[in-house]
């Protein structure tokens, strides 16, 4: 039954994941997908390519083109003319590339350490094309003949499906490293679970299973791993995550079809009005001088409940002369919020709070002219104006997508079960 849905699920995920990638990637990925589905890719019976032909093929030439290649790396302070003038390329051609072909690639952006290749005609030894690797993924080729021009392209890549599992002893990073996976996988996991699990606080006994894919070019992984499905057992509870695109871009959802990204509440007090916005050059009403206001003030009557805008851990419930009584909440590895000038605090340091919990009451302790909450918002340790932050939508799986989602989840779980060594304990959850 499930195998009927397999082509669809893989096709969907590959399609959604690769949107925005190059045709090369799509093509090789679909070949791989076919391989996975039992249609083995055709073994090519072409003759082995020599080193020159292999380079030619990497940069989009027909390998049978009669070219020979000289390769190097851009040296420190080297420009295009440093490389090509001594190799018989005329000043006019170099000038043409630097000016007329700037749309294709601005050669002033060439960087030390990047590879270059000079392709010559094997017949007359004349320099024909100059290729430069812009990044791990992209290159540009300039024609060196009178006609000019050239092309930009992406190196042929393939997408490989990989699986990781393990138990936490120290950190997720260490657990993955020990199992031979890239540190980027820990980063990708922390992004998927940013709203659910604080990876700086995971504990021994937590465990995980991850099905992911990465793009590979010339046997080197490039870019970030994409997590297709994961289960993270944290404090005895399983937190599954599944990648799905319901038309709003790929996102991770849980077993109920809820997005793993949770929205913050818009404001920490209901029925309030904004009395002062985030402003780096505000004239301070009490201090009577220009002082950055790195928060948003919500004026509300004395004693109005102040609520946590998201789930988190109280890292501070304290008092300073300026802040008055205040509470600080760490939501995840990215976001922290703080609530100042409380008349009374309602939480203790170290306490876990849920979104909407009352953490204190409006007051005017500290430097305040009247009852209000000064609400402060940190993103990656920088204070930002939360009203200007774009929080991506976190729509749950739509009714009409639920059947497709359930099929996709069944496919991922099936694949993880097949790859699992059985060494990590499984915690059941209701599948959608």
Find the helix packing angle between 2-18 and 23-36, rounded to 10°. 160
For residue 193, which of 214, 177, 172 has the smallest C-alpha distance? 172
DSSP letter for 113, please: T
Nearer to Zn ion, 299 or 410 (CB): 299
Nearer to Zn ion, 264 or 278 (CB): 278
DSSP per position, 17-68? HHTTS-HHHHHHHHHHHHHHTT-PPPPP-PPPP-HHHHHHHHTT--TTS-EE
**Least Å distance between CB 353 and Zn ion?**
21
Q: Hey, which bits of 218-262 come out as E strands? A: 220-234, 237-244, 251-253
**Least Å distance between CB 296 and Zn ion?**
7
Nearer to Zn ion, 61 or 278 (CB): 278
**Least Å distance between CB 367 and Zn ion?**
9
**Least Å distance between CB 354 and Zn ion?**
25
Nearer to Zn ion, 196 or 323 (CB): 323
- Cα 85 from Cα 72, distance rounded (Å): 15
Nearest-CB residue for Zn ion: 374
User: β-pairing, 207-217 with 220-234?
Assistant: antiparallel
**Least Å distance between CB 298 and Zn ion?**
9
**Least Å distance between CB 318 and Zn ion?**
17
Nearer to Zn ion, 188 or 374 (CB): 374
Asked if 342 and 260 count as a contact pair (C-beta separation under 8 A), the reply is: no
Nearer to Zn ion, 230 or 368 (CB): 368
- Cα 193 from Cα 177, distance rounded (Å): 19
Nearer to Zn ion, 263 or 274 (CB): 274
Asked if 172 and 197 count as a contact pair (C-beta separation under 8 A), the reply is: no
* Contact positions vs Zn ion (CB under 5 A): 295, 297, 374
Lookup: tokens for 292: 């950055």
- Cα 307 from Cα 310, distance rounded (Å): 9
**Least Å distance between CB 340 and Zn ion?**
7
């Amino acid at each position: 039954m499930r195998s009927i849905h397999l082509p669809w699920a893989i096709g969907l995920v590959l399609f959604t994941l690769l949107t925005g990638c190059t045709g090369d990637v799509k093509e090789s990925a679909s070949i791989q997908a076919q391989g996975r589905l039992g249609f083995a890719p055709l073994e090519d019976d072409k003759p082995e390519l020599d080193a020159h032909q292999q380079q030619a093929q990497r940069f989009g030439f027909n390998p049978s083109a009669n070219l020979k290649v000289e390769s190097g790396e851009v040296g420190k302070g080297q420009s295009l003319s440093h490389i090509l003038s001594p190799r018989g390329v005329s000043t006019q051609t170099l000038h043409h590339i630097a000016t007329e072909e700037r749309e294709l690639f601005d050669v002033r952006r060439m960087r030390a350490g990047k590879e270059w290749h000079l392709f010559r005609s094997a017949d007359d030894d004349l320099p024909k094309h100059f290729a430069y690797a812009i990044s791990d993924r992209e290159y540009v080729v300039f024609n060196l003949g009178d006609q000019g021009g050239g092309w930009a392209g992406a190196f042929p890549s393939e997408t490989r499906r990989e699986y990781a599992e393990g138990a936490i002893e120290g950190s997720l990073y260490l657990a993955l490293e020990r199992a031979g996976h890239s540190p980027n996988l820990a980063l990708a996991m922390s992004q998927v679970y940013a709203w659910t699990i604080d990876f700086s606080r995971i504990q021994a006994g937590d465990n995980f299973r991850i099905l992911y894919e990465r793009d590979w070019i010339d046997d080197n992984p490039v870019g970030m791993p994409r997590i297709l499905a994961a289960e993270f057992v944290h404090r005895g509870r399983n937190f599954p995550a599944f990648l799905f695109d319901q038309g709003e871009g790929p996102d991770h959802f849980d077993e109920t079809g809820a997005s793993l990204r949770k929205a913050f509440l818009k404001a920490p007090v209901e029925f309030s009005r904004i009395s002062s916005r985030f402003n780096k050059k505000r004239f301070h009403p009490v201090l009577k001088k220009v002082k950055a206001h790195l928060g948003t003030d919500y004026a509300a009557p004395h004693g109005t409940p102040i609520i946590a805008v998201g789930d988190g851990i109280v890292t501070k419930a304290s008092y300073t002369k300026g802040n008055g009584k205040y509470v600080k909440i760490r939501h995840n590895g990215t976001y922290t919020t703080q609530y100042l000038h409380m008349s009374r605090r309602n939480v203790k340091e170290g306490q876990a709070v849920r979104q909407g919990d009352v953490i204190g009451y409006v007051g005017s302790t500290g430097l305040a002219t009247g009852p209000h909450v000064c609400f402060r918002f940190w993103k990656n340790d920088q204070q930002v104006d939360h009203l200007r932050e774009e929080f991506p939508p976190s729509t749950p799986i739509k009714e009409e997508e639920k059947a497709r989602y359930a099929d996709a989840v069944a496919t991922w779980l099936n694949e993880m079960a097949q790859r699992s060594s059985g060494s990590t304990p499984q915690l059941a959850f209701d599948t959608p």
